[in-house]
Amino acid sequence: MKELRIWGETAINQSSITGESVPVEKGPRDDVYAGTLNTHGALEIRVTKLVKDTTIAKIIHLVEEAQTKRAPAQAFVERFAAIYTPIVLALAVAIVLFPPLFLGYAWQPWIYRGLALLVVSCPCALVVSTPVAIVSAISKRGTQRCSH
């Protein structure tokens, strides 16, 4: 709830809303955001907004909305990984087992080559980059929608 302070003076920790690490001094007629912490002093406030119209409610709504929707890039990466990963694993196992078992080569170099294939072909950067980009977009979108 957005509230209007009508009596008292205090410093309010607004870090949960604004990210500002230093408490902010509030005087008469200053806006006070719901979800902030009173660090010292006393105050009397009047509620001026409904719970559904608060900044925190908007942030919660944006997060819930983002969790229900998948970006096209994320869906593609997941489909790609579902096919790519088993193929790479099967190929690595074949590289480790086939030459020693069927051609009589030593095990150690082929185990090393199979592991090297797994390391080189790991799609981790691709898989991790998509959620990071989505979180960045959500935070950017949230700061544009949720004005003080």
pLDDT tens across 48-89, in order? 888 787 777 888 888 888 777 777 777 787 788 888 889 999
For the entire predicted model, the pTM comes to 0.42
User: Which residues are 44's β-sheet partners?
Assistant: 7
Rounded to the nearest integer, the mean pLDDT of the chain is 79
Is the pLDDT at 47 greater than 90? The verdict is no
Stretch 103-120: mean pLDDT, rounded? 91
Stretch 17-22: mean pLDDT, rounded? 81
How would residue 37 be classed by pLDDT, with cut points 50, 70 and 90? confident
Q: Which long-range contacts (CB under 8 A, 24 or more apart) does 15-19 make?
A: 16/56, 17/55, 17/56, 18/148
**Contact indicator for 1, 50 with CB cutoff of 8 Å:** yes
Is the pLDDT at 144 greater than 70? The verdict is no
Q: Going by C-beta distance under 8 Å and a sequence separation of 6 or more, which residues neighbour residue 36?
A: 12, 13, 14, 16, 17
Q: How many CB atoms lie within 10 A of CB 12?
A: 21
Burial 116-128 (b: 16+ CB within 10 A, else e): ebbeeeeeeeeee
Q: Going by C-beta distance under 8 Å and a sequence separation of 6 or more, which residues neighbour residue 111?
A: 96
Q: Going by C-beta distance under 8 Å and a sequence separation of 6 or more, which residues neighbour residue 142?
A: 58, 59, 62
